[in-house]
Structure 1
Amino acid sequence: MSEHLATVQWQRQQAQFIDNCYSREHTWQFDGGLTVAASASPQVVPAAYTNAACVDPEEAFVASLASCHMLWFLAIAAQHQFVVDTYCDRASGKLAKDAAGHLAITQVRLRPQITFAGEAQPSAQQIAQMHEAAHHRCFLANSVKAKIVIDTAAPKAASPPGSDC
């Protein structure tokens, strides 16, 4: 149906490498021209070899699932003639051992906060049904083993720096 491309690029620079003391900073390049600074998670790799200011694979995984869900939710809301003004999700992922004892993102929790405009306001039941439909249509949610929880009643979690929702 479609193919999606990304280029991941890393260079050793001056590190010896075989002593395991090398930078994990790298770049992700996407076909639209965007380059993203990436690194290993500072929760996984010692701080001396990572950069917390970069996006790490675990964050990107969570963001990808949250983004996919949001895009489907917006499409479904539009189909039902509900006008979405804002959609903000402070999603989180839990890194833990899975049933086989391997480290994995075992759960992703979505916390969408949505405001609607206009005369037609969806009921709580309609919102829940749209989230359920979005979850089942999300290509990424259909591709992973992690449990995905959609928590629309959760209190607002702390915002990452730069977030305004």
Structure 2
Amino acid sequence: MSKQHDYTARIVWTGNRGEGTKTYRGYDRSWDIATPGKPITHCSNDPLLGGDAALPNPEDLLLSSLSACHMLWYLHLASVAGITVLSYQDDPVGVGETSPNGAGRFLRATLKPHIVVRAGDDLAEAEAIHHRIHEFCFIARSVNFPVSYDATYATA
């Protein structure tokens, strides 16, 4: 039987320069994410939409969440399969589009993990684990665009 659970956060707009949204260019597209018991994350809109390129934007956060969820399930399933992961690094790429009216969406994402496993471990099994992750990953199971992967491996 499935169990439901809640995730909570507080999003607080921090971009009021003194006159709110009186004019389109008169406010910043910045906010904070406050999750109970965790450090505040300062964010901004995509630079294409007037945001601060030095801060994470919603698209960055979604792609990072997708990658992190995949990684955590990979580590778990590798451990269960007897694969010893020594290092895991991902450089994911999300492809988005923006329509003329400004609406945007992700078209696809490709995860590109580089995984170092213990010498002698089964690299075919290490690769096969990726095919099972989509059965479990909360984020991948929740998005409406295709997620693929292009993993590379090394041994140590």
Query: What is the TM-score normalised by the length of structure 2?
Result: 0.85
Task: Measure how far apart 1:136 and its partner are.
Answer: 2.1
Contact 2:115/2:151 (8 A) holds in 1: no
1:122 corresponds to: 122
Say what the alpha-carbon RMSD is for the aligned residues.
Answer: 1.9
2:83 corresponds to: 82
1:137 corresponds to: 136
| Identical pairs, percent | 25
2:55 corresponds to: 54
Contact 1:25/1:40 (8 A) holds in 2: yes
**In 1, Cα distance between equivalents of 2:20 and 2:78:** 54
Contact 1:97/1:106 (8 A) holds in 2: no
| Structure 2: unaligned runs, 5 residues or longer | none
* 1:34/1:16 CA distance change after superposition, 3 Å: closer
Given candidates 41, 44, 47, the residue that maps to 1:39 is 44
**In 1, Cα distance between equivalents of 2:115 and 2:122:** 11
Query: What is the TM-score normalised by the length of structure 1?
Result: 0.80
How big is each residue's C-alpha offset from its partner over 1:23-77, in whole Å with a ceiling of 9 and x where there is no partner? Answer: 011111112321011000102x13xxx2111110000000000000000000000
| Structure 1: unaligned runs, 5 residues or longer | 154-165
The reply to whether residue 147 of structure 1 matches residue 146 of structure 2 is yes
How many equivalent pairs are there?
A: 145
Aligned to 1:137, what secondary structure does the other structure show? coil
**In 2, Cα distance between equivalents of 1:38 and 1:102:** 20
2:18 corresponds to: 14
